[in-house]
A and B are shown apart, each in its own frame.
Chain A
Amino acid sequence: MTLDTTLDRAAAGSAKPAARVLAVDGLTKTFMMYHLDRRLPGFDDVSFTLAEGEFLLLSGENGAGKSTLLRTLFRTYVPNRGTALFHMSDGGTIDLARAADIDIVQLRKGEIGFVTQFLNARPRVSAEDLVAEPLVLAGRPFEAAREEARRLLGAFGLQPALFPAYPSTFSGGEQQKVNLARALIRPPRLLLLDEPTASLDRTARAALVDRLARMKAAGVAMIGVFHHPEDVAALVDRDVHLTRQKIRENADVAE
């Protein structure tokens, strides 16, 4: 078993039970590396559930499979076993472990978000337009979306003079602010966070925690990996601890 603690620090004062967002059961990921002729473990037999407005922290040492689990839920990695039943906004359910690729493409456009440390800057697109884009795609009028983008970029501490500039020329810290603003401008139903506080200054870190707190209050369910979990301690409801899998030479891991 990988999952050895589920600490309940939950929801003081929440009267009605929140609706379920995700039920993960026995999810397992192993990588087969053909050029090494061996299997590399990702994570094994992970189970948990997540409700609206819940914040779940993934803990465990380096190599325990925390980021791998996030990427598997986003389906950048394909799992080998288990289910990850996602309850959509419209009340329907879909198993993220087996859903068709084109369904995943659709879910990524609104229902499921992923925040990483890295910005995929595009040439000749200004910071404010890059951030506004998810809202524009969702149907918000262009000027209103841009206004919201400026507000969020300002909250993350980006200099207003840089709003109309191209982020490809920005420093790493500035790019990360643009990246976060873009990823967080439109609240998804499920948000996956892969060390978003890395390389952030204090202003940006505070703005991020504030933004996450608002999203949580609005019902967004979150699963996060944090290098410094104390940054988000006030938001965490539960903790899923992953333990590192042994790498066995030419072994059949977990089968």
Chain B
Amino acid sequence: MTARPMTVLPRLAPQLATAAPLLSMRGVAKRYGDVAALKGVDVTVQPGEVLGIVGESGSGKSTLLRAMNLEEVPDAGRYTLDIPAYREKDLFALDRYQRRMLRVREIGIVYQNPHAGLRMRHSSSGNVAERLVVSGERRFGELRRRAKDALIASDFPIARMDRPPVELSGGMQQRVQLAKAIALEPTLLLLDEPTTGLDVSVQALVLDTLKRLQRERQITMVLVSHDLGVIRTMADRVMVMRHGAVVEEGLADQVFQDPQHPYTQQLVHAKL
């Protein structure tokens, strides 16, 4: 005999948090040949919220993040951000140039691998300034000042701001990526396994910087990680992905302490 699950109460539509969502994705689907990487995923993120996305490799979480960053246009789906010039516009329908400009101005990203986000042999300050240049800033003094501010906000030791990332530690490289990502005060900050591969103590310090930035600037963040500890530390809400679909979504403490889906229970128990 098998125990029948007793269903939990369904959740109602928001009653207090009635601001328009900052990010909204509907029915996002993407295939790579025979593999369905995303099978119609919906995502909603409120302004100032930190959404964590967990799942094993191949779950589709990184594909979803690339779609949020407009690096890749999926086969189906709609994507809107609540920013003045683009409100109600499907961002997947923009042309390549518009997507790039939107990405530079409104979306910051930190990748797991610093090589994906930085020029490793240019100076760290130059890496950050490059973002500002692409956005149209040309005055040297202004570039240097704003790059320095972003590096300070990212807890980067400013005496080393002209050293190239290749000469820095992994934790420092992530801080350069973060400074570059926040230099233009983006609407949305995307974090793709930002501390994976760092020593545990360094990881804690980088997460602390992210938490402080979130608190001080109310930056809306989407954080992808297979590390449940990282998600638990950072996220307000969590989405659990498997085989290109969302299997569970909820408050971070609820998903970790009272997981509803068999897969989430297995995932949580495996990591405890």
Contacts and interface: CB of A to CB of B under 8 A. Distances in A.
B14 interface: yes
Contacts, number: 109
Given A77-B254, A99-B15, A122 B49 contact: no
A80 B258 CA distance: 12
Contact of B208 (A97, A98, A122): A122
Given A76-B251, A78-B254, A100-B15, A35 B265 contact: yes
B1 A250 contact: yes
A102 B23 CA distance: 14
B116 interface: no
Contacts of A39: 3, 5-6
Given A75-B251, A76-B254, A78-B258, A103 B14 contact: yes
B215 interface: yes
B250 interface: yes
Interface in B18-64: 46, 49
B9 A81 contact: yes
Given A78-B254, A125-B208, A106 B17 contact: yes
B269 A32 contact: no
Q: Which of A31, A34, A101 has the most C-beta atoms of chain B within 10 angstroms of its own C-beta?
A: A101
Contacts of B204: 123
Interface in A223-255: 250-255
Nearest to B1: A250
A105 interface: yes
B135 interface: no
B64 to A, nearest CB: 19
B72 interface: no
B131 interface: no
B262 A78 contact: no
A38 B257 CA distance: 17
Contacts of A31: 258
Interface of A: 30-35, 37-39, 71, 75-81, 94-95, 97-107, 122-125, 133, 137, 250-255
